[in-house]
Amino acid sequence: MPNLTPQADLTALQRYVEALETERGFAQQNARDKCLLLGEEVGELFKAVRQAEGMPMDVNAVNSEIADELADVLIYLYSIANRYAVNLEDAFRAKEAKNKTRRWA
């Protein structure tokens, strides 16, 4: 089992996801598959937010934790990035550098 240290940075988290996918037999899934699974997880996140906000829902709906669903979304983002060899920490920092030059109204 891959080891995840408490001080792991974003790049270490991304490498961890890659290792756990290999260990759990998910490494063969392609980017399209991962995008579809990400969509499902985003839906589960929205459902958890609806529950937390007290919106009317099916009384038989399974309760989900927002933290769990956010973590699932992050795992799938890393999975997709890994399939395109995108380091998400580098991409985040580069995008923020661009955003700092933009004017926000």
Whole-model pTM over 0.85 = yes
Q: Give pLDDT tens digits along the chain (105 positions).
A: 788 888 889 999 999 999 999 999 999 999 999 999 999 999 999 999 999 999 998 888 888 899 999 999 999 999 999 999 999 999 999 999 999 999 988
Query: Which CATH superfamily is 10-100 part of?
Result: MazG-like (1.10.287.1080)
Domain residue ranges in the chain: 10-100
Q: What would the two tokens of residue 48 be?
A: 């958890």
